[in-house]
Chain A
Amino acid sequence: MGWKRVITVVLPAMRLSKVSFRYSRRGPWVLRDVELAIRPGSVVEVTGRNGAGKSTLLRLLAGIVPPSKGSISERPRVVGYAPDVFPVDQPFTVTAYLTHMARIRGVSPGAMERLAERLDAAHLLEQPLGDLSKGSAQKIGLIQSLLAPPGLLILDEPFAGLDAHTRTELPVIIGEVAAAGGIVVVSDHQNQLENFPGADHWLVAGGTVAVEAGERLRQAVIEVLVDAEHADEVEQKLRADGYTTRRTA
């Protein structure tokens, strides 16, 4: 019998301190004096009316625009960002595009095929970006955001136009990123993450962000190895007990 040494690394929370933002010096304030702390492993659902400033908040979090006032500290180094509408108007095939994105991130493009498989997008890889339907394009946007394991994953309306398979798979992926210590921020019109265990909810309105902390149910991913012939039986038992299961090949 051997001892296992468990090392816990406490990552600092990402913090927004008195963050205000406007697009030009005389323009109206989009956000004012926003104070937020986001712990590693958090999943945040951002809601708010059209034009309330959700996308601006996501861009600030992603580091795409700097705050006009205030500061953002401890942003994780690897940020994945999937925009609300993926820009298909580019002269590449899906594979060529994702290979470019992987190289820009300095990671091997190998993750592309695995992610495409999971999001049921393997058949899209050889298609030109311009031929993709809205839902297919949305999948490519998601894949590029996950090419390197993100410390901060920002998804702007990711559920719009997705098929049923991907709609159920995406929360699993979100859960995995969070379980690995990543922060996931999702703006979501359709409240797909309403029942996501432990998710925080932010309401963006009137230039401020109201926080409603979710029940902090911690999640973990365990792998269970079973004989192939018992797989169905075990899976049914686990599902009957209320667990989410997923087969890995």
Chain B
Amino acid sequence: MIPLVRFKLAAYARSHRLLQPMIGLVAMLIIFYSSTVPPGKELPSYGDSAGLLIIVFAWAARGLLDTEPPTQRLISMTAAGRPSREIVGGLLAALVVNVGMAAFAVALPLVIGFSAFPGPGDLALGIALHLLGLSVGTALGALSSMPIVLSPGTSMIALFGGYLAMLLLSLTPFGGFLVPIMPWMRAANTGTLGAVLPQIAAATLLWTAVGMAAYLRLRRNRP
């Protein structure tokens, strides 16, 4: 599995497709941290960053999964011994890229952005929220990638529409049971995140798992 993930990462890095979501990531971080965050306000910043960067994580995952020509996926499936290995390998490579992007998003404000270093508890919560954001973003990116959505135009609509729908639905009273982006931003603002994190993590990971399972199922007939 590791050689397959490395092949996909090498193809992605050399294709320069990484540049698009990286520009998106840097642009958003510049907006987030254009004015210095006062002491004690680090967690609300991390909450917003994790929730808004989902679209960047999804974009990166979609780009990675679309890098290979369709026929190369067929070759990789036979080389890896089983189609499921190729499909899971793609998701793992996308997760690796997104872990790198999330690490950058967490680390950057520590250098420029925060006026004081956050406490270890807030830092841990910030990392946890980014992990949730990248997992749901990866699932969204996979579901809007070309093997699933055949036309590039529809794929972009699925990506941005999917994110917008997630964001808007999380504003409704049922938001806590969907992907709770707004609830986690609010909790990070009001200082209640520590208490509600298990519930938020459970809901986010459940929907991530549903998205990934749907992707794996759909890919069976869409090699």
Interface residues of A (CB under 8 A from B): 23-24, 59, 62-66, 68, 77-81, 83, 85-87, 89-92, 100-101, 103-106, 141, 144-145, 147, 154
8 contacts between A and B (CB under 8 A): A64-B74, A87-B72, A91-B15, A101-B7, A104-B7, A104-B76, A144-B75, A154-B78
A62 adjacent to B69 (CB under 8 Å)? no
> What residue in chain B is nearest A89 (Cβ atoms)?
B69
Query: Cα distance A100–B81 when bound, in Å?
Result: 15
A104 adjacent to B220 (CB under 8 Å)? no
Residues of B within 8 A of A59 (CB): 74, 223
Known A-B contacts A90-B11, A90-B68; the reply to A101 vs B221 at CB < 8 A is: no
Residues of A within 8 A of B6 (CB): 100, 103
> What residue in chain A is nearest B4 (Cβ atoms)?
A104
> What residue in chain A is nearest B220 (Cβ atoms)?
A66
A100 adjacent to B10 (CB under 8 Å)? yes
Query: Chain B's interface: helix, strand, loop or mixed, by majority?
Result: helix
Query: Cα distance A78–B10 when bound, in Å?
Result: 25
A23 adjacent to B221 (CB under 8 Å)? yes
Known A-B contacts A65-B220, A104-B7; the reply to A92 vs B14 at CB < 8 A is: yes
Known A-B contacts A59-B223, A63-B82, A90-B69; the reply to A101 vs B75 at CB < 8 A is: yes
- Residue from the list B3, B15, B70, B71 in contact with A104, Cβ < 8 A: B3
Query: Cα distance A98–B100 when bound, in Å?
Result: 27
B221 adjacent to A105 (CB under 8 Å)? no
Does B83 count as interface, using CB distance less than 8 angstroms?
yes
**Per-position 1/0 for B1-30, Cβ under 8 A of A:** 001101100110011000000000000000
B220 adjacent to A62 (CB under 8 Å)? no
CB distance from B71 to the nearest CB of A (A): 4
4 interchain residue pairs of minimum CB distance: A87-B69, A91-B14, A103-B3, A81-B78
